Amino acid sequence: MSEETKYSKLFAEVKNKFSNHNVTMELNEITLELTSNELIASCETLKNDPVFKFDELIDLCGVDYSLFGKNEWETEASTCNGFSRGVNSDESNQPPVENFAVVYHLLSLTKNQRIRLKVFLKESDLIIKSVVGIWACADWFEREAFDLFGILFEGHEDLRRILTDYGFIGHPFRKDFPLTGHVEMRYDKDKQRVVYEPVNIEPRTLVPKVIRHNNQHQVDED
């Protein structure tokens, strides 16, 4: 059976089982959108139903869509004065009402098939149930999503930072996190320990561009 035929069959089976949900397929990649309340029951179905047998969770990540479709520069249209800035963005390309998402990638070792689950969340309610009870490997994945995006996983028994330091402020993969961060860390010889201080960035003096004449092909008149 070809890959296209296999995933077309899986797509039909998912559409039939989850008929009230948005299911899409592009390039043999199937995406099933769920609500947070339906996540656990749907995951258990996808894992235990012999039609699917998605027994492995191979990835879990957070996504911040808050700036999706927004840009300052329109590079597809230009004038003699350069590219336009501050153009009106396409209304059809605006971020969803729920501007955060948790994405799950599942693998069926039995059937050699994959599926993507996507659950949208509101920024004011970044709480979703943990799937550690279904796939134990979700433990560190959920800790990473909490650390980088601030998403809380209800039922996770050890939800603490995993990549950033315990004294870290904020969640660095969110679009509202400043590029410079909030604090900087250094070793203090007097205190003989690592200390945290507010970020201090000294302004850089811009060096003017010097245009030099190219005289390498100039012939001496001697």
**pLDDT tens digits, residue range 128-153?**
999 999 999 999 999 999 999 999 99
Partners of 83 in the beta sheet? 78
CATH 3.30.460.80 fits 3-66+95-163, yes or no: yes
pLDDT of the residue at 87: 47
Domain positions in the chain are: 3-66+95-163
| pLDDT tens sequence across 153-203 | 999 999 999 999 877 889 999 999 988 888 888 899 999 998 888 888 776
Cα–Cα dist 111/36, whole Å: 27
Strand residue runs (E) in the chain = 23-26, 29-34, 56-64, 73-79, 82-85, 100-108, 113-121, 127-129, 152-154, 183-188, 193-198
pTM of the predicted model as reported, rounded to 2 decimal places: 0.77
